[in-house]
Amino acid sequence: MRIGDVAAAAGVSTRALRYYEEQGLLTSERSPSGQRHYGDDAVRRVRWIQALYAAGLNSKAITGLLPCVHTGVATDEMITHLAAERDRIDAQIRDLTTTRERLDGIIDAARDRNPECDLSAEAATAGSAG
């Protein structure tokens, strides 16, 4: 696969892929003319990178985790690190859940206060995800 294919398949820009390579997160074979070529697992790797970015990790942290994430092989230290990041994600989920519940409470209270609002709006919101 060439860089554009991987980018399309993973839903990121080619710039992002070059950035990942620059950060040591992604490697590529080069054709004689210098063009990048990737194996099929590159897409899964990029999806992992995105997921870990979304979880609040930065490039350096991901660099430390990706080897064992991708290969399944990890040293004790790596596992400790993995568990620590998992705990951080857990805490993040808890905080977000609290915020979500409080928002829910406010929404419900406001709907009680107001004349039933327009419930069709909520159905529209649920449909227009993206």
Partner DNA sequence: CTAAAACCTGACGTTGACGTCAAAGGCAGC
Partner DNA sequence: GCTGCCTTTGACGTCAACGTCAGGTTTTAG
Closest CB 84 distance from DNA, rounded Å: 17
Contact present, 21 and 34 (Cβ < 8 Å):
no
Return left, alpha or beta for 114; rule: phi > 0 is left, psi -120 to 50 is alpha, else beta.
Answer: beta
Closest CB 3 distance from DNA, rounded Å: 4
Contact present, 122 and 110 (Cβ < 8 Å):
no
Closest CB 1 distance from a second copy, rounded Å: 23
Query: Contacting DNA (CB under 7 A), which of 9, 47, 55, 59?
Result: 59
Q: Which does 2 bind (CB under 5 to 8 A by kind): a second copy, DNA, none?
A: DNA
Query: Contacting DNA (CB under 7 A), which of 39, 51, 58, 96?
Result: 58
Please, what's the b/e burial string for 117-127 (b: 16 or more CB within 10 A of its CB; e: otherwise)? eeeeeeeeeee
User: Looking at 16-24, 81-89, 90-98, 101-109, which segment touches DNA (CB under 7 A)?
Assistant: 16-24
